């Protein structure tokens, strides 16, 4: 039942984010026009049954016209403004005709209040206000003239006009509250997006930093052994795939222990840092070097002819 209701209200149309205003008007028209057509048709049949042939025929005829407009709207949402104008005009004509000729109905003036609400919602605050003023002035002129007997007293019209003012004020307050809430919600969304974006950048930086630390030797700032093993495996796979030769360079500093014993570990560390800097500055763009462990350094991506090269550095 819920899905059936949704399908009827939306008529199979899909509304984009830029069509939010059209979407609400479309749903409103589907609801209100359907209810108004059913109500007017029933009243028209009852009038015909009670020998009010002219008014009953007009109500049924306008209901069929409204049905045609509603069908057009459901087929193509792009004509919503013109169709809504036509439906409001039909409602106004029917309201005026009922007000003038259905004088036995004491509640018929309420229709104008409902009509004003529909104009306000479909055509906006400005046009809604002008329409309500026009309706009130028109009814007042008919009341003051001697050509039409509205069956209403002046007090009835004054109180009705007051009701219209109150309803319009309430609609304005509602619109103001809704706009304020929308602005606040939009501001909250913007703040949330900013915080999420900021936190995402921070997390990305932390992730990059963590990844860098996970592959970097703390002392020399070269690649550590864990990362070198991955690079070595990659080079092996590349050589197997393309059936090419590859080579490695393993560098070991001889007598490094003597430096530590004679000058201390701090000097030894500085020596390793300086040696790592020399290696980094001596590399080609395609080469990679890292600290294998202790005073050993490893280059798994050096493309030389020999299959294996071992050197000792004095």
> Which of the four pLDDT bands, split at 50, 70 and 90, describes residue 310?
very low
Model confidence at 192: pLDDT above 80: yes
Average pLDDT over every residue of 216-224: 92
The percentage of residues in the chain with a pLDDT greater than 70, rounded to a whole number, is: 92
Contact assessment for residue 297 and residue 311, using Cβ atoms and an 8 Å cutoff: no
Question: For residue 301, what pLDDT is reported?
Answer: 63
Q: Minimum mean pLDDT among 9-18, 104-113, 193-202, 206-215: which range?
A: 9-18
Model confidence at 270: pLDDT above 90: yes
Provide the residue ranges of all domains of the chain, joining segments of one domain with +. Answer: 2-156, 225-313
**pTM reported for the whole predicted model:** 0.55
Model confidence at 76: pLDDT above 90: no
Most confident by average pLDDT, 97-111, 141-155, 255-269? 255-269
Q: Minimum mean pLDDT among 14-18, 132-136, 188-192: which range?
A: 14-18
Question: For residue 173, what pLDDT is reported?
Answer: 87
Mean pLDDT of the chain: 84
Per-residue pLDDT reduced to its tens digit, 21-74: 788 888 888 888 888 899 889 988 988 888 888 888 988 999 999 999 988 888
CA dihedral 53→55→56→58, nearest 10 degrees, is: 110
CATH placement of domain 225-313: 3.30.70.270
Model confidence at 271: pLDDT above 90: yes
Contact assessment for residue 92 and residue 115, using Cβ atoms and an 8 Å cutoff: yes
Question: For residue 1, what pLDDT is reported?
Answer: 65
Model confidence at 125: pLDDT above 70: yes
Question: For residue 201, what pLDDT is reported?
Answer: 92
> Which of the four pLDDT bands, split at 50, 70 and 90, describes residue 107?
confident
Question: For residue 272, what pLDDT is reported?
Answer: 93
Question: For residue 273, what pLDDT is reported?
Answer: 93
Distance CA 215, CA 254 (A): 26
Q: Which residues, in sequence order, are CB contacts of 123 under 8 Å at separation 6+?
A: 84, 85, 88, 131
Model confidence at 5: pLDDT above 70: no
Q: Which residue has the higher pLDDT, 307 or 274?
A: 274
Model confidence at 183: pLDDT above 50: yes
Give the HSE-up count for residue 150: Cα atoms under 13 Å, Cβ half-sphere.
Answer: 20
Question: For residue 303, what pLDDT is reported?
Answer: 52
């Amino acid at each position: 039942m819920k899905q059936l209701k949704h399908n009827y209200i939306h008529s199979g149309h899909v509304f984009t984010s830029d069509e939010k205003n059209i979407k609400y008007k479309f749903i409103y028209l589907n609801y209100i026009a359907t209810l108004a057509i059913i109500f007017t048709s029933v009243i028209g049949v009852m009038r015909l049954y009670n020998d009010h042939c002219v008014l009953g025929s007009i109500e049924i005829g306008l209901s069929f016209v409204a049905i045609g407009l509603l069908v057009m709207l459901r087929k193509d949402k792009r004509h919503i403004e013109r169709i809504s104008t036509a439906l409001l005009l039909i409602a106004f004509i029917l309201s005026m005709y009922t007000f003038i000729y259905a004088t036995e109905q004491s509640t018929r003036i309420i229709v104008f209040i409902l009509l004003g609400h529909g104009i306000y919602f479909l055509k906006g605050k400005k046009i809604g206000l002008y329409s309500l003023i026009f309706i009130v002035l028109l009814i007042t002129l008919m009341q003051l003239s001697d050509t039409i007997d509205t069956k209403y007293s002046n007090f009835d019209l004054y109180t009705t006009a007051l009701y219209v003012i109150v309803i319009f004020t309430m609609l304005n307050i509602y619109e103001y509250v809704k706009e304020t809430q929308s602005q606040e919600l939009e501001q909250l969304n913007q703040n949330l997006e900013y915080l999420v974006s900021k936190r995402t950048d921070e997390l990305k930086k932390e992730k990059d930093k963590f990844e860098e630390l996970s592959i970097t030797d703390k002392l020399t700032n070269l690649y550590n052994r864990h990362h070198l093993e991955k690079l070595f495996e990659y080079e092996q796979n590349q050589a197997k795939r393309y059936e090419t030769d590859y080579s490695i360079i393993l560098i070991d500093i001889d007598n490094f222990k003597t430096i530590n014993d004679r000058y201390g570990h701090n000097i030894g560390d500085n020596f390793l840092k300086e040696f790592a800097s020399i290696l980094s500055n001596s590399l080609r763009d395609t080469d990679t070097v890292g600290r294998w462990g202790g005073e050993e350094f490893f280059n798994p991506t050096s493309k030389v002819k020999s299959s294996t090269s071992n050197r000792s550095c004095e």
